[in-house]
């Protein structure tokens, strides 16, 4: 079954509470957005993933994109995870898993799956990487490569 939205399709809009306040995708038109779906706060691979972004904060900041993490834990869990590890990526609480389902990043048996969705300035999905087992993640360099491969948007 094909993952939706597919590359070239409009990204479904959503609004979720987050560690940096509410996040509404459509408020970020004109920006490149990277959605990092992940299984859970304080799990071994997710902790390693988000700490790797923290440890390369300068490289991460140079991505020139709005990057957010999304999982099904509540805001209190995300705030504790962020504080415990000094994370630099805002985390969004998708408690009802509605957004993960809309982006085909959900499995009934597993919950939120690890996936990276890159959205361009017009709200179109330009790249998606779905991790089969969720035991690995995209590095800062891989995120940078995915963003560099996007066409430069004409100013609106």
Active site residues: 46
Rounded CA gap, 70 and 11, in Å?
15
Rounded CA gap, 102 and 104, in Å?
6
Task: Decide if 117 contacts 70 (C-beta within 8 A).
Answer: no
Backbone angles phi, psi at 27, to 5 degrees: -70, -10
Q: Is 128 helix (H, G, I), strand (E, B) or coil?
A: strand
Question: Among residues 2, 27, 18, which one has the least CA distance to residue 123?
Answer: 27
Please name the helix (run of DSSP H) or strand (run of DSSP E) that holds residue 70, with its range, or none: strand 66-71
Q: Is 119 helix (H, G, I), strand (E, B) or coil?
A: strand
Residue 32, both tokens: 């490149």
């Amino acid at each position: 079954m094909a993952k939706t939205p597919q590359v070239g399709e409009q990204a479904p809009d959503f609004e979720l509470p987050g560690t940096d306040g509410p996040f509404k995708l459509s408020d970020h038109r004109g920006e490149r957005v990277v959605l990092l779906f992940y299984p859970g706060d304080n799990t071994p691979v997710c902790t390693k993933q988000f700490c790797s972004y923290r440890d390369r904060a300068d490289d991460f900041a140079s991505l020139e994109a709005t990057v957010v993490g999304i999982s099904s834990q509540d805001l209190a869990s995300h705030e504790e995870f962020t504080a415990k590890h000094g994370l630099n990526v805002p985390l969004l609480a998708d408690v009802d898993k509605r957004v993960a389902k809309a982006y085909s990043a959900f499995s009934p048996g597993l919950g939120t799956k690890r996936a990276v969705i890159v959205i361009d300035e017009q709200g179109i999905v330009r790249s998606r990487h779905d991790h089969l087992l969720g035991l690995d993640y995209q590095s800062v360099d891989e995120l940078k490569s995915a963003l560099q491969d996007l066409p430069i948007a004409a100013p609106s």
